[in-house]
Structure 1
Amino acid sequence: MDDLIIARRLRVPVDAAGDGTPGWGEVAARQLDAALLSVGFTCSAALIDRLSGLPGEQVVDLGVRVLAAVRRLVGDHVEHNAYFIDFPRNVPDTLEFWAGLLRGAMLDPVAAAGLQPGPLNLLDLPRYGGYQHSYADLVAAHTELISQAGDRVTVLELGGSLRDEARELYFSLAGSEVPLAAEDLSALRALAAFCDDQPERVPVRENRAVINEVRLAAGQPLLVDTVTDVLRLAHACSGGDVTLATPTRLRSFRRAERRVLLAALDTVPPAKHGDVLRHREQWKRLGERLHPHEYPQFPQAAQVFEVARGVRKATSFDSRVEAALAAGRTEEAVSLLENTPGALLRRVDQLLRTGGPAVLEAAEKSAARASGRVLLSLREHLQNRRTTADRVFTNRYGRAWTTPDVRSPLGEEVLGRMLAILDAEITRRLPDLGELIVDPAVLDVALPLSGKAVAPGLGMLPRGSLSPVDGELLRFFVHWRQAEQRTDYDLSALMLDPTYDNPTHISWTAYANGFATYSGDLTDAADGASEFIDIRLSDATQPIIIPQVNIYAGERFDEAAEAFFGYMTRDAAQEGRPFEPRTVRMKSDLRGYGRIALPLVFLRGDEGVWQVKWLHLYLSGHPSFNQVEGNRLTASLLVRSIVERDYLRVGYLTDLLRVKATPAGRTTYIGLQAPADLPEGTRIYTPATLHELIPA
């Protein structure tokens, strides 16, 4: 739980209060701060002060846990070796390297005897794909990193008691208006079991299923108002997918559990039984586990399974709407959708193209009742209707595809009216945050309208966010450790011109060009493996750089024992080892079913300033042998669609907040990291809590 609080909130929970007497605790606190600085973290003044008043043994014990947590957060919990010991220096030319390996194999009698007649697989050459030196040898070959003012220093703040911090994080995640990442759902499950208090309102269905799982085990009332809530809960109890995207093998339920699930199902009115048709087969499997015929006191629950088996007819709401639209009866569809404002707004583009003024009137009424996330998502969608760029679609797994926009345009008057309706309703719902202090660096951060594709980590921002890149050298890194079978990941970089054409690349097939260098290919990660790409930004001849991680062979990202990607920036004179935790700007786990990861793209602007735009994309790829040369067309199309899309950013929301704000004697700060000189009692929003700004 300590690790969870530190990683998610950068706060250190401290339960005990010391007597304030300086002693060994003060010495231990200073030692902890020095150790943290070596990995790019530091204690706030308040944290140092609190730790100084505690017994030294307690500070040491806490310090060990804090240091371990931040080292995992930044990726410093493993040893990052490199294939070429002097990387980025003395990396040979690609052909020279392969010729050297082949020459060495031919001159070695044992190796030459093992070479078979016929085509030669270069990856089978001796000395290829494995470290030729120890990590200690690599450290000895590199000078120390020269400290610079631009090095990352992340402040760890003083937290309250572990119970208080856990409760605050729990209520923040449970009350989120946006879907959470898989890692956050796991955190939510742990927090729900740890915390005594339980939230009454959980707007996102997947979050509700996780909390209902804990409530079911504790004998507490369930949060259920649709039949699908019960199906999600059954999947959660079986260790399955609460999004219902993949089938789950349901476990057997105890009699008491069956009674609770059927009782909850019985409270759902028959008008909502049409939702069963969306997951008919899974409902059949659940009926086999719950035995509804044994509980005649729950007749409406029994009807749900009759619908699944086809014994009882039920028409889903969506099918009625689709039938009306297919027949050209737009007014009938609007009349149906007015009862579900969120569904109406999700279809409002289609309705505006086929309907008349009545659609605008219905949309205005629905805007007052729909969720804030739907309003913001529609605002982002409509502001992109003025562009001619390809449409881009992204699913919950980070898979994306594009298609030309063949829809008829919306009239400027209609579009302007809809945008005004949305802006007015969003402004009405926003809270009065008093005096607003906004870090300019946060204005280009995209609003977190969904967190499913964003794995938590250090410096993570939502898809579509822009942030500046400081430093002369940019270095990507990937680390992985296989679980059961030999696994070969390949770090690569695709480089494009301003028209997203004329591609070049850096990978295991092209070690270097005029401004980029590859650290060498590793093909086995039984004990962990790391690869790097070093880029001198001032010398870069192409303004678009797309790092990617390809699975060449072996386990998927979510099957490996560990897999993460990140990037560092440093000045040219800093030297140091290939991996230096103080220079890490971003690090996050790799996951998902895709075989190619596209975490972000680096873009050079007209004035030569580099920025990073966050992608969080995964390409399907091939079962094996994925290479950057084989996916450059798909990658360039997807990246271009993301780059050219106008995402709804924090700057939009802060403009509305300033309109709503009135002097109230309180202060609110919105930024990437809170400064130390904020007034006492300031409410702080950072990327970890930006989802709390999404109105209900």
Structure 2
Amino acid sequence: MSHRLTSLVIRHTHRLPLPEGPAGEGSSAARRLDAALTFVGFKLSAQLLEHLSGLSEATVLRTARQTLHTVGEMVGDHVRHNPYFIDFPAHVPDTEEFWMSCVTKALGDDRSRESVLTQLANGALNLLSLPSYGRYQHTYEEMLAAQPELIASAGDRVTVLHLGRNLRDELTDLYLALAGSTTPLGEEHLLDLRTLAGQCATGPQPEAMPVRENRAVVNEARLAVGAGLLLDTVVDVLRLACALADGDVTLNQPTRFRSFSRPVRRALLAGLDAVIAANPAKLADVHAHREPFKRLGERLHPHEYPRWPHAADVFAVARGEKEARSFDSRVEKLLDEFDVLGATRLLKSAPGKLFRALDLLLRIAADQEVRDAVVAAAVEVAPEVSGRVVLAVREHFQNRGRESDAPRIFVNRRGGGWVSPDFRPPVPDADRDRLIAALDAEIRRRLPAPGRLLVDPAVLDVALPLSGRASAGGLGVLPRGSVSAVDGEQLRFFTYWKEKENRTDYDLSALLLHADYSTDAWLSYTSLRTVGGRHSGDVTEAPEGASEFISLSLDLVRSACIVPQVNIFSGEGFEQVEESFFGFMLRDGEQQGRPFEPRTVRMKSELRGTGRVALPLVFRREDDGRWHAKWLHLYLKGISSANRVEQNQLSVSKAVRAVVEREYLTVRHLIELMPRSSDAVELSDGGPAPDEPVTYIGLQRPEGLHPDSRVVTLENLRDLIPG
């Protein structure tokens, strides 16, 4: 467990919890660890190297094994990456030439000849029936022997590991940060919070826990240790029940409730009773989740506990036996009657819902006087709305004033994306501009004065993480809508998957688009070569794990956009396989090296979505010829089997266009709103850190910052969002 918790801290903070052990002469082992880390793109900070050098060699070696294993997983170097073509990217054959060689080999094999001849006579040939197609024809060791050594480059990624505090303090700090997050966490971070809550439920707690899913995970841990539950709605109890049943605390997917023990049943029923006793109007919250509440009632047996009558009322409402008029139904009735003023007055008692309805209210308002009342109501209740919602609504209206035929993109909590035309009438510019100015003023009021502010320019175009679900777990992953520079001559994508029970075939592909998003070309198992690009070959099963690669020379690519994608051709989905991830590497032109070189990995993200086509990001050539990446984190539905880049090029190009042409709020916007003196912002140039405390915002923490500095990096970027 200690190893797992230490790894968790390293992944989230890039800090190594203070290693414990006797003093000694560990300098030699510490230097060897530092050297080993360079091969995977990491290094020890000067402070951490100094600390390790003062420990015993045995302690350093134990720390080294654990640290190397963790960072290897972070970049995807914990598995063996083997391409189908042994010397990829060299000597990749033409597609038809390769297929014919597979047929020739099959005809020369007594076991397959008859089957192949029969298929050819019938006019159709299944590539998977050819013995040499889709299965590795060489070992991993043979591939290594055939590949040149990587030439070190100043452009290789270097991620610094810093010295942390003791493990207990690091876990507590991380728990407080995740549990008290003002934005929803991604699936991976929510699982990590569950682990941390089991360790920290009886210790210090965050002042507030605004995200309900976080509260459910924490309540599960508190229930296990007999601590008081944090409940103020009946839905809090439902989420807790889902957590106890290993279900979905976001309530996005149905949970199959199991039988609960009597103590747990009593705790859940007592919680429901207390919530309704304090505020009977909260019975109306049941309507939004009637079916889950009915199923939960079948497991809790409220009739056995007459001392909690209000809990029984909850399930009576769910079954339709007791009336509790919902707030939403009252709003809908007023809107059906086009009583915008009445709906606005009612919605003022639920500020978050008013903000989410602003676009509709402004569109259907009869005249300017009514629109003025809607805007005035929004300004009045803005201080009561969470910072995340204020910023999300600000971003929404930022994209409502532009005249564009770009489609709308919809993304659910699990990354599933779909596109539709935008038929909404426009919001009047004057009302939109007034609202945006008011929302900016509200955010400016909430932002703390940063003091001396030091900013890494690379973070300015990172989209604000208004939801942890707008991203994916991994290394170097930015939120959806972020833009980052691509500095390198050779761009290489990689994907890895390992099937769990059934034969599974994933296909790495890249769609190359013109500036108008029409198709130029593609790279896939059906097109192994194109101008500037090579595919590593199709692997069609992964009982021991499999990898595919695409390598592109950016100077030679003629297209305006490169869209990497992972298609599920057959077998298990992204959430069913034992493991699956995607990433990209950047290299200088002469670096060579193996197909997978961990120190050149710029991004590695987990593939965990419900669709059959994964779209991690898009690479775009700007007018000045430089390439940038814009992050998508989308999963398209695709078809049940045999997904191919040729089939989904239209849906992919529409989704790409919808995200590329949308304006996302970025870190730059918040920095511009921060209260400060005019000369307080400095852009980091990699020079020595200031001697006094600063607020630092960047992609990763630099060395030498004052210990009292506030540091915001990718790992805790959510801390920028005000409450």
Q: Does TM-score exceed 0.5, indicating one fold? A: yes
| Deviation string, structure 1 residues 654-688 (Cα, Å, up to 9, x no partner) | 11115489989741000011222433422110011
* Amino acid across the alignment from 1:320: R
Q: Could you tell me how far apart the structure 2 residues matched to 1:356 and 1:535 are?
A: 52
- 1:686 aligns with 713
Mapped pair 1:209 → 2:216: yes
Q: Could you tell me how far apart the structure 2 residues matched to 1:321 and 1:337 are?
A: 7
* Amino acid across the alignment from 2:371: G
Q: Map residues 659-670 of structure 1 onto 2, 5 A cutoff.
A: 659=676, 666-670=693-697
RMSD: 1.5
- 1:3 aligns with 7
| Deviation string, structure 1 residues 299-339 (Cα, Å, up to 9, x no partner) | 21111111011110111111111111111111111111111
Mapped pair 1:351 → 2:348: no
User: Secondary structure of 1:202's partner?
Assistant: coil
- Residue 332 (structure 1) aligned to one of 337, 342, 356: 342
Q: Could you tell me how far apart the structure 2 residues matched to 1:675 and 1:663 are?
A: 19
Q: Map residues 642-661 of structure 1 onto 2, 5 A cutoff.
A: 642-659=659-676
Query: Contact (CA 8 Å) 2:462, 2:483: kept in 1 or not?
Result: yes
Going from structure 1 to structure 2, the CA distance change for 1:384 and 1:453 (only over 3 Å counts) comes to closer
Which is further off, 653-662 or 44-53?
A: 653-662
User: Secondary structure of 1:572's partner?
Assistant: coil
Q: C-alpha displacement at 1:120, in angstroms?
A: 2.1
Mapped pair 1:241 → 2:248: yes
The unaligned stretches of length 5 or more in structure 1 are none
| Deviation string, structure 1 residues 270-296 (Cα, Å, up to 9, x no partner) | 201111111112111111111111222
Aligned pair count reads 693
Q: Could you tell me how far apart the structure 2 residues matched to 1:214 and 1:662 are?
A: 47
Q: C-alpha displacement at 1:113, in angstroms?
A: 3.1
Mapped pair 1:609 → 2:619: no
- Residue 503 (structure 1) aligned to one of 502, 520, 523: 520
- 1:369 aligns with 384
* Amino acid across the alignment from 2:263: A
- 1:627 aligns with 644
Q: Could you tell me how far apart the structure 2 residues matched to 1:593 and 1:425 are?
A: 37
| Deviation string, structure 1 residues 590-625 (Cα, Å, up to 9, x no partner) | 111111100000000001100011000001111110
Query: Contact (CA 8 Å) 1:522, 1:531: kept in 2 or not?
Result: yes
- Residue 527 (structure 1) aligned to one of 537, 540, 544: 544
Q: Could you tell me how far apart the structure 2 residues matched to 1:567 and 1:502 are?
A: 22
- 2:420 aligns with 403
Given the two structures, how large is their TM-score scaled by the length of structure 1? 0.98
Q: Could you tell me how far apart the structure 1 residues matched to 2:530 and 2:416 are?
A: 31
- 2:150 aligns with 145
| Deviation string, structure 1 residues 514-537 (Cα, Å, up to 9, x no partner) | 110000000010111100000000
Q: Could you tell me how far apart the structure 2 residues matched to 1:100 and 1:617 are?
A: 37
User: Secondary structure of 2:60's partner?
Assistant: helix
| Deviation string, structure 1 residues 432-489 (Cα, Å, up to 9, x no partner) | 2211001111000000001124221110100000000111000000011110111000
Mapped pair 1:101 → 2:115: no
Mapped pair 1:560 → 2:577: yes
Q: Could you tell me how far apart the structure 2 residues matched to 1:683 and 1:304 are?
A: 45
| Deviation string, structure 1 residues 523-555 (Cα, Å, up to 9, x no partner) | 010111100000000001001000000000100
Q: Could you tell me how far apart the structure 1 residues matched to 2:662 and 2:82 are?
A: 38
Query: Contact (CA 8 Å) 1:430, 1:660: kept in 2 or not?
Result: no
Q: C-alpha displacement at 1:689, in angstroms?
A: 0.7
Mapped pair 1:121 → 2:138: no
* Amino acid across the alignment from 1:205: R
Which is further off, 297-306 or 370-379?
A: 297-306
Query: Contact (CA 8 Å) 1:432, 1:662: kept in 2 or not?
Result: no
Q: Map residues 189-588 of structure 1 onto 2, 5 A cutoff.
A: 189-195=194-200, 196-268=203-275, 269-353=279-363, 354=365, 355-387=370-402, 388=404, 389-588=406-605
Q: C-alpha displacement at 1:382, in angstroms?
A: 0.7
Q: Could you tell me how far apart the structure 1 residues matched to 2:652 and 2:73 are?
A: 30
Q: C-alpha displacement at 1:244, in angstroms?
A: 1.1
Given the two structures, how large is their TM-score scaled by the length of structure 2? 0.94
- 1:12 aligns with 16
Query: Contact (CA 8 Å) 2:351, 2:382: kept in 1 or not?
Result: yes
Q: C-alpha displacement at 1:15, in angstroms?
A: 4.5
Query: Contact (CA 8 Å) 1:82, 1:520: kept in 2 or not?
Result: yes
Q: C-alpha displacement at 1:198, in angstroms?
A: 2.9
Mapped pair 1:42 → 2:49: no
User: Secondary structure of 1:131's partner?
Assistant: coil
Mapped pair 1:27 → 2:31: no
* Amino acid across the alignment from 1:421: A
User: Secondary structure of 1:539's partner?
Assistant: coil
Going from structure 1 to structure 2, the CA distance change for 1:94 and 1:70 (only over 3 Å counts) comes to same
User: Secondary structure of 1:452's partner?
Assistant: helix
* Amino acid across the alignment from 2:577: A
Which is further off, 675-684 or 238-247?
A: 675-684
- 1:171 aligns with 176
User: Secondary structure of 1:551's partner?
Assistant: strand
| Deviation string, structure 1 residues 223-268 (Cα, Å, up to 9, x no partner) | 1111111001001000001111111111212222111111111122
Q: Could you tell me how far apart the structure 1 residues matched to 2:8 and 2:521 are?
A: 41
User: Secondary structure of 2:36's partner?
Assistant: helix
User: Secondary structure of 2:467's partner?
Assistant: coil
Going from structure 1 to structure 2, the CA distance change for 1:678 and 1:12 (only over 3 Å counts) comes to same
User: Secondary structure of 1:577's partner?
Assistant: coil
